[in-house]
Amino acid sequence: MDKLLTLVKKGEGENVEFKEFLSSYHLKEGRFQSLACQMNHRLIMGRGKAVYVVGVSDSGELKGISEERFRETLHVLKKLACEVGAEVSSVEKYRLDEGVVGIVEVQKAGRGKEHILIGTAGHVDHGKSTLVGCLLTGKADDGDGATRIYLDVLKHEIERGLSADLSFAVLGFKNGKPIRMKNPLSKREKAEVVEKAEKLVSFVDTVGHEPWLRTTIRGLLGQKIDYGLLVIAANDGIMRTTKEHLGILLAMDLPVIIAVTKADMVDRPKLKEVLSSISALLRSVGKVPYHVRSKEDVKKASNLVFSKPVVPVIVTSAITLEGYELLASLLYSLKSRKFVKDSFLMYIDRLYRVSGVGTVVSGCVRSGEIEEGDVVYIGPFHDGSFRKVKAQSIEMHYYRVSRAEAGDIVGIAVKPVNFNELRRGMVLSKKEPKAVWEFEANVIVFSHPTRIKRGYEPVVHVETIAETAVFEDMDREYLKAGDRGRVRMKFKYHPHYVFEGQKFIFREGRSKGVGEIIRVYD
């Protein structure tokens, strides 16, 4: 009853609608369509959730209605929900002297739409954020980063023109065409894109500046990325960071697409030279370049990049929008690479305290699916334990959803758990996992100035985990650049949930290598 009185006191809100009652009259075509549009609006404003207070007048007076009228109203609301792809998720009924009043909650049904995840990479100032900004808005850049600002939102990012943290953006497609956004920073617009789109492409925009390599690695390893989008500026060409990011993408077995940006800043001979150097680099690592110049090329490239060692290359300009239509068509044509049918698992990437909601954990669903109200395990805590929590609500790009599946980037409100006890790298899982301190791995050393021996302590990046690990034992006396070996490693500060088959990157300054977990020790 307290919930009802609170809603009545607040009055109609963005997703709250007062209805005294609904009847068969409201099922007539014109009236029905009007009410369906109204419900859809409430769902969009409520990020996928609408609340109907029944038996209450528009002014908020508790009128009360008969049981029969309440049942009839509920029947009409279910019809309306079905019309807009939603469902009645809960019904609360209260009896007053005047009659029956109630709260009916309507929730968007499972999306049933394809969702792919793209991770951007590339050297600093090569136009990653600008590229994504132009794709989202369909607007040309002014040459001074006007579209980049949609992804660089921190004060020092805007002032310096350099991204310093991961940014997330969503591009929706309807009838094969991009749904453009006037302001990609608007939470409401993002929610509307998720609502209207038939296919979603989410971007994880990483950082090109070398001091923030840790953040870039987190973006590329911590999300369930389908494809890597490597950005190379035509005026600079291939840089050391370009090679480094390409190496990370290939080490993670990700299909790669290359966007050559800033084509308007160079003449044709220079552009041809850059494209030739890109082809040579790709062939040196066993990949085949495929230059996309037409819609026919897009169809071939989308199939080739999915299953074969082919890398599509598209020339673009944010000033003239050259190549953007082809790039958008390619993104629309790409297939999801998620075939995981395992139980639900999500590595935590970010933590929030949200007023009125509590603790929210966000990340990319690695496998399986989760529904609002599911009970899952969270951990491991320092003692290696996991605790049960309830998924109170789920949001994707600020849009309330009833379920999420592999590949979705979501925020999940969880209770009960203390915010201060949580950290990045923990997991949410339907099955109770086992905490791991030590594991065995096959490793390859990419670069190191001297020799790696037992006791070496690099930072290990696996999923969203970034933790110092000690080389406890090795199958040889030492490892140097270019060597392969088997190593037993131990996390130094916290236990984590890792399992066989996971790939990781280890680094210490400019020393880097990759590995694959082949055994874990409980």
List the CATH number of the domain containing 100.
Answer: 3.30.110.10
In a domain, 487, yes or no: yes
What tokens does 263 get?
């084509």
Q: Give me the count of residues in the chain.
A: 522
pLDDT for 397 equals: 76
pLDDT for 518 equals: 96
Which range has the worst mean pLDDT, 24-33, 107-116, 265-274, 283-292?
107-116
**Alpha-carbon dihedral of residues 333, 189, 132, 303, nearest 10 degrees?**
-10
**DSSP-derived 3-state class of residue 204:** strand
pLDDT for 208 equals: 41
Pure H helices in 138-267: 155-160, 187-196, 213-222, 240-251
- Residues 118 and 227 occupy one common structural domain: yes
pLDDT for 215 equals: 58
Phi, psi of 410 (to 5 degrees): -135, 160
- Residues 133 and 67 occupy one common structural domain: no
153: amino acid identity, one letter: V
Mean pLDDT, range 179-192, rounded to an integer: 82
Helices 324-333 and 295-307 pack at an angle, to 10 degrees, of 40
Beta strands (DSSP E) in 328-374 are: 345-347, 350-354, 358-367, 369-371
- Residues 145 and 104 occupy one common structural domain: no
- Residues 55 and 173 occupy one common structural domain: no
441 beta partners? 487, 517
In a domain, 408, yes or no: yes
Peptide bond into 433 cis (omega under 30): no
Mean pLDDT, range 358-379, rounded to an integer: 92
Contact 394, 403 (CB under 8 A): yes
Which range has the worst mean pLDDT, 11-15, 363-367, 456-460, 495-499?
11-15
pLDDT band for position 163 (cuts 50, 70, 90): very low
**Last residue within a domain, chosen from 333, 366, 388:** 333
- Residues 122 and 232 occupy one common structural domain: yes
In a domain, 340, yes or no: no
pLDDT for 448 equals: 86
For 94-139, how does the pLDDT look when each residue is reduced to its tens digit (9 = 90+)? 888 888 998 999 887 655 567 888 888 888 888 888 899 899 999 9
How far apart are the C-alpha atoms of 137 and 139, rounded to whole Å?
5
- Residues 147 and 215 occupy one common structural domain: yes
What tokens does 99 get?
């009659």
CA dihedral sign of residues 390, 85, 115, 123: negative
In a domain, 203, yes or no: yes
pLDDT for 256 equals: 94
Which range has the worst mean pLDDT, 56-60, 216-220, 239-243?
216-220
Name the one residue in this structure whose structure tokens are 């996928």: 48
Q: Say how many C-beta atoms besides its own lie within 10 A of residue 123's C-beta.
A: 24
- Residues 97 and 242 occupy one common structural domain: no
For 467-478, how does the pLDDT look when each residue is reduced to its tens digit (9 = 90+)? 999 999 999 999
Mean pLDDT, range 355-374, rounded to an integer: 89
Q: What angle do CA 81, 58, 195 make, to 5 degrees?
A: 30
**Last residue within a domain, chosen from 310, 333, 356:** 333
Alpha-carbon Rg for the chain, nearest whole angstrom, is 26
Task: Answer yes or no: is pLDDT of 357 > 80.
Answer: yes
Among 131, 139, 116, which residue's Cα sits nearest to residue 260?
Answer: 131
- Residues 380 and 443 occupy one common structural domain: no
Q: Say how many C-beta atoms besides its own lie within 10 A of residue 95's C-beta.
A: 11
260 beta partners? 232, 315
Task: Answer yes or no: is pLDDT of 416 > 50.
Answer: yes
What tokens does 176 get?
């094969």
What tokens does 336 get?
């999801």
pLDDT for 223 equals: 57
For 420-466, how does the pLDDT look when each residue is reduced to its tens digit (9 = 90+)? 999 999 999 999 999 999 999 999 998 888 999 999 999 999 999 99
pLDDT band for position 164 (cuts 50, 70, 90): very low
Mean pLDDT, range 77-89, rounded to an integer: 85
What's the domain range around 495? 438-521
How far apart are the C-alpha atoms of 50 and 14, rounded to whole Å?
9
420 Rama class: left (phi>0) / alpha (psi -120 to 50) / beta = alpha
How far apart are the C-alpha atoms of 57 and 17, rounded to whole Å?
10
429 beta partners? 345, 377
In a domain, 190, yes or no: yes
- Residues 358 and 489 occupy one common structural domain: no
**DSSP-derived 3-state class of residue 88:** strand
In a domain, 447, yes or no: yes
What is the count of structural domains for the chain?
4
- Residues 147 and 74 occupy one common structural domain: no
pLDDT band for position 211 (cuts 50, 70, 90): very low
pLDDT for 82 equals: 83
pLDDT band for position 165 (cuts 50, 70, 90): very low
pLDDT for 114 equals: 78
Contact 207, 216 (CB under 8 A): yes
pLDDT for 269 equals: 96
How far apart are the C-alpha atoms of 196 and 175, rounded to whole Å?
11
What tokens does 159 get?
């002032």
**C-alpha 282: how far from chain center:** 28
- Residues 322 and 351 occupy one common structural domain: no
pTM of the model: 0.65
- Residues 200 and 319 occupy one common structural domain: yes
CATH of the domain at 207: 3.40.50.300
pLDDT band for position 212 (cuts 50, 70, 90): very low
In a domain, 338, yes or no: no
438 beta partners? 490, 521
pLDDT for 244 equals: 83
CATH of the domain at 406: 2.40.30.10
How far apart are the C-alpha atoms of 469 and 443, rounded to whole Å?
13
How far apart are the C-alpha atoms of 465 and 221, rounded to whole Å?
9
pLDDT for 70 equals: 92
Which range has the worst mean pLDDT, 84-88, 91-95, 305-309, 434-438?
305-309
Per the prediction, the chain carries an average pLDDT of: 85
Strand 459-462 relative to strand 503-508, pairing? antiparallel
Longest dimension (CA), the chain: 85
16 beta partners? 51
Name the one residue in this structure whose structure tokens are 């035509």: 234
How far apart are the C-alpha atoms of 332 and 290, rounded to whole Å?
18
In a domain, 339, yes or no: no
**Last residue within a domain, chosen from 394, 429, 464:** 429
Task: Answer yes or no: is pLDDT of 329 > 60.
Answer: yes
Task: Answer yes or no: is pLDDT of 270 > 60.
Answer: yes
How far apart are the C-alpha atoms of 3 and 148, rounded to whole Å?
43
Contact 7, 53 (CB under 8 A): yes
pLDDT for 112 equals: 56
Task: Answer yes or no: is pLDDT of 5 > 60.
Answer: yes
